[in-house]
Amino acid sequence: MQNRRIVFVYLSLLIISFFILLIGCQSQQEETKMTDRQMIERGKLLVTVGGCDDCHTPKNFGPNGPELNMSRRLSGHPEGTPVPPVDTSLIHQWAYMSHDLTMAVGPWGVTFSANLTPDNETGIGTWQPEMFVKAMKTGKHLGVAEGRPIMPPMPWQNMAQLPEEDLKCMFAYLKSLSAVKNKVPNPLPPNQIPAVN
């Protein structure tokens, strides 16, 4: 009889301990969930240190050289900017970048940095967080299997190493920016690279 009581008390304590641990874990998970503001701040940090401005923000040129045009931050390659002719005989040895780093030419063709602002027509305004995460994890435009590949020099392979939560934070920050209407051209295949005569 005494042994049964000891076993009963032991099992009761074990069950109570389990539920206390379970409740504690749930409370800890709830405490670590970020607010929208925290997600945006984390995303801003990741976008900034990740160098997204280097290619996705147009530049102004002045006495100090190129400076980021923050009024058009992350709006991508400026619409209407022509693709200058390049020496295509060197295209398999060299990659070319436009003076503001928003366009790249290489063996893959010509690529233009995307508009990452939340403009509904020309940017990521209609995107959902899952689309952004899938695009960065798979290297497919719009995050769909049938989407065109995300072309060089976009380092999506590096971005794919980030935890999903960090990618969602980056997306939250991008969606918090001012929308800039800027229709970026589609990539050009190698046979459409303008060549010097």
Q: What is the 3-state secondary structure (H, E, C) of 102-140?
A: CEEEECCEEEECCCCCCCCCCCCCCCCHHHHHHHHHHCE
Residue 43 structural domain = 35-192
* Residue 162 counted as domain residue: yes
DSSP string, 162-196: S-HHHHHHHHHHHHHSPP----PPPPB-GGGS-B-
What's residue 11's pLDDT?
Answer: 45
Cis-peptide, bond into residue 84, ω within 30° of zero: no
Residue 89 lies in a domain: yes
Span 108-143, pLDDT tens digits: 999 999 999 999 999 999 999 999 999 999 999 998
Nearest to 100 by CA among 124, 69, 129, 71: 69
pTM: 0.81
Query: Per the domain annotation, does 97 fall within a domain?
Result: yes
Residue 26 lies in a domain: no
At residue 157, what is the residue type? Q
Q: Answer yes or no: is 44 within a domain.
A: yes
pLDDT above 50: residue 181: yes
Total of domains in the chain:
1
Specify if 13 maps to a domain.
Answer: no
Asked if 45 and 174 touch (Cβ cutoff 8 Å), the reply is: no
Mean local confidence (pLDDT), 5-13? 47
Q: Does residue 146 lie in a domain region? A: yes
pLDDT in tens, 56-88: 999 998 888 889 999 999 999 999 999 999 999
**DSSP secondary-structure letter at 147?**
S
Token couple for 162:
């980030």
Is residue 16 scored above 70 in pLDDT?
no
